[in-house]
Structure 1
Amino acid sequence: MKYILLILTFSLLFMGCADKNAFSKFKMQEDQELSATSLQGSKIKMGEDVEGIFSAIYLNDVYPNIYTVNEYFYVYLYLKEEKKMYDTNSLDEIKLTIKLNGKLPMKIKKLDAENKFSHLASVRSEWKRYYLVAFEKEEKNTINLVLETDQSSSDALTYQKGEE
């Protein structure tokens, strides 16, 4: 009798879990799903020391109907030390540069922590800095995005451009 009760209890337990799982609670919009596949990150290292974290979303993959003329990235980073992003319109000393296939950007726009791309990133904080970065259109199908400081560098974030 107690074996039948034990089997019945486990059967009810497993049947109760069959229709629901953790993934049924995740409802993502299409752009969030695309950004999750496009999101890449890298540590910014100086020797063996980690100086920060660099993450980017390739917006041309997320919004292919909007970003068609140039290459656009939503970049967010955390650095231990305050650095200034290279500005193509300024002659200030370069402290932090971002390059796509070795080329500097045509435009960098600093964004607030809450911006029109915030929903694409799973984590938002006041400690990170957010940028919209635009580069001239690349002819190559494989593109490499690298962040460099005056003494350190991130690994290259490699993106495969979609078929056009």
Structure 2
Amino acid sequence: MKYILTILTFWILFVGCADKNAFSKFNMQPDQELSAANLQGSKIKMGEKVEGIFTAIYLNKVYPHRYNMNEYFYVYLYLKDEKKMYDPNTLEDIKLTMKLNGKLPVKIKQLDAKNRFSHLASVQSEWNKYFLVAFEKVDEGEISLVLETDRSSSDALIYRKDEQ
């Protein structure tokens, strides 16, 4: 009888906890699911030394009705050394550029840490820099996004465009 009471007590404890599990925390909105599928990241390396982390979400796939005139990316990056991002509206000699299939962006807008795309990314930090970046429309089946500094480069983030 003593063993049955002990087993019954442990069984009640385990059954009482089984209502919730880790998957109950994964209730995502449709745009969050699409952003997770279109999120890619890369280390920015100079030789074997890591200088930062470059992460991008392809917004044309997340919001196809809103972002369809150009190629749009929500980019957040962390760099160990402070560098200023290339701006197509200035003629400054900048040491940090993004290129899509080898071409510079037509528009870059730096965003605050809390912005309209924050819910798409799982990481929000005051150390990161956030950008909305637009490139000219590409009709090819595959696009390649790269971040380059004066001394290093990220791996290419490859996105597949839907065939029209």
C-alpha displacement of 1:29 = 1.2
Match of 2:93 in 1: 93
Q: Give, in angstroms, the shift of residue 15 of structure 1.
A: 4.0
**Equivalence for 1:69:** 69
Q: In structure 2, how many angstroms separate the alpha carbons of the residues matched to 1:15 and 1:162?
A: 47
Q: Which residue of 2 aligns with 1:116?
A: 116
Question: How do 1:1-164 residues align onto structure 2 when only pairs under 5 Å count?
Answer: 1=1, 4-5=4-5, 8-9=8-9, 11-12=11-12, 15-164=15-164
Letter in 1 for 2:104: L
Letter in 2 for 1:116: R
SS at match of 2:61: helix
Gaps of 5+ in 1: none
Alpha-carbon distance change, 161 to 13 in structure 1, aligned in 2, over 3 angstroms: farther
Secondary structure of 1:148's aligned partner: strand
Q: TM-score, normalised by structure 1?
A: 0.91
Between the two proteins, the alignment pairs up a number of residues equal to 164
State how far apart, in whole Å, the 1-side matches of 2:163 and 2:29 are. Answer: 22
1:162 deviation in Å? 2.8
Q: What is the CA deviation profile of residues 55-83 of structure 1, one whole-angstrom value per residue up to 9, with x for unaligned ones? A: 00000111011111110000010101111
Task: Return the alpha-carbon distance in structure 1 between the equivalents of residues 121 and 105 of structure 2.
Answer: 22
Amino acid at match of 1:91: L
| 1:79 maps to amino acid | L
Instruction: Indicate the SS of the match to 1:119.
Output: helix
Deviation at 1:143, TM superposition (A): 0.8
Could you tell me how far apart the structure 2 residues matched to 1:18 and 1:162 are? 42
**3-state DSSP class of the match of 1:52?**
strand
Q: d(CA) in 2 for partners of 1:98 and 1:35? A: 20
**In the TM superposition, what is the alpha-carbon distance from 1:37 to its structure 2 partner?**
1.2
Structure 1: how far apart are the matches of 2:62 and 2:51? Answer: 29
Percent identity of paired positions between Structure 1 and Structure 2 = 76
Q: Distance in 2 between matches of 1:55 and 1:162?
A: 21
> Structure 1 stretches (4+) deviating beyond 2 angstroms?
1-20
Summarize deviations over 1:74-99 as a string: whole Å, max 9, x none. Answer: 00101011111111111100210100
Structure 1 counterpart of 2:142, one-letter code:
T
Q: TM-score, normalised to structure 2's length?
A: 0.91
